[in-house]
Amino acid sequence: MATERRKVIEVLNGATVSPPPIWLMRQAGRYLPEYRQTRGKAGSFLNLCYSPDLATEVTLQPIRRYAFDAAILFSDILVIPDGLNRNVHFVEGSGPRMDPIDEAGILALKPEGVLDHLQPVMQAVGQIRAALPPQTTLLGFCGAPWTVATYMIAGHGTPDQAPARLFGYRHPQAFAQLLAVLAEISADYLVAQIDAGADAVQIFDSWAGVLGEAEFETYAIAPVRRIIQSVKARRPDAKIIAFAKGAGMNLRHYRQKTGADMIGLDWSVPLSFAAELQKDGPIQGNLDPMRVVAGGKALDDGIDAILQVLGQGPLVFNLGHGITPEANPDHVTQLVNRVRGLGNGS
């Protein structure tokens, strides 16, 4: 029997699919009541990430509700520093915390046991792939080295990642070492996810937008290129999406310099520029998540503008960043129906 079409993979291979396939970053999350119920059972956020059964359940929840064209593994970009024994934990209402790392800490990092620590994640990948409809693409992911490093340096999130930027200027060799270690582990992690059943993977560089031009080359492009080259050297058929949020004009050559098969675009990327980037290959994005919160005409107008400008080329429809907890689940139904041409849906 022929394998059912996985439309996201078709776009990753350069095809134009109409209507475009759709999934949403953070589609399994706090806007869904069923997620909040499962999250309550887990006890802690990391417990949820490391419980294969619960991670499988929350990954499948938005697929059951909306029949998205892709499911993305439920996990977190900070499981790698957690595997490096950085005392990662999540404080309700204020986000992740960990022990800040210094030069001595970077030199003492031991990456050898990280994949063992992450075996529950790979178990979840296998369970999710087995439970998904055949036509639904399963995406694995990791955080880009720069973004993960920002949390490791500061010990928490900051508005402009000044601690990591300053550390990079003051201690360039140590910072380069940290990025190299994270790139190596991340490549191994993505290969393991692919081997466990992921159809494609995404690299999230959520803090790329705070970097200047030279730093973007050194901190954002080079480590991601290293990951992609390493993964593709071992798994030549691997399909990789790279998402550098806020990168603006630095996106012009991001695909070519990193080797990504598809690039994700945040909502600040003008559609005219997105259309230029699409000439070089598939793109993903880029609806403002606040339009999903607003619903109604604001949501329809945003969707229609993207489809009008980008719908005639290789596109995976997505948000320009993760869906927010304030989003009404009915507005997501409106979004999916609008993209698929089924009317407003609400």
Cα separation values, 84 from 104, 112, 165, 268, Å:
14, 9, 22, 34
CA angle 305, 308, 310 (to 5 degrees): 100
Q: How far apart are CA 192 and CA 43, in angstroms?
A: 27
Q: How far apart are CA 127 and CA 196, in angstroms?
A: 9
| Catalytic member of 69, 76, 199, 205 | 76
State yes or no: is 330 an active-site residue: no
| Catalytic member of 50, 151, 189, 219 | 151
Return the HEC string of 208-219. Answer: HHHCCHHHHHHH
State yes or no: is 151 an active-site residue: yes
State yes or no: is 338 an active-site residue: no
Q: Which of 66, 82, 56, 227 is nearest to 151 (CA)?
A: 82
Identity of the residue numbered 178: L
C-beta pairs of 91-99 under 8 Å, 24+ apart in sequence: 94/156, 95/156, 95/157, 96/151, 96/156, 96/157, 97/155, 97/156, 98/151, 98/152, 98/155, 98/156, 99/155
Q: Which of 33, 30, 28, 117 is nearest to 75 (CA)?
A: 28
Q: How far apart are CA 243 and CA 121, in angstroms?
A: 21
Number of DSSP helices (H) and strands (E) in the chain, helices first = 18, 9
Q: How far apart are CA 205 and CA 260, in angstroms?
A: 13
Q: How far apart are CA 119 and CA 171, in angstroms?
A: 33
Q: Are 293 and 31 in contact (CB under 8 A)?
A: no
State yes or no: is 5 an active-site residue: no
Q: How far apart are CA 212 and CA 135, in angstroms?
A: 41
- SS3 percent helix, strand, coil of the chain, rounded to 5, is 55, 10, 35
| Catalytic member of 5, 30, 234, 235 | 30
| Catalytic member of 6, 31, 35, 39 | 39
State yes or no: is 340 an active-site residue: no
Catalytic positions are: 26, 30, 39, 76, 151
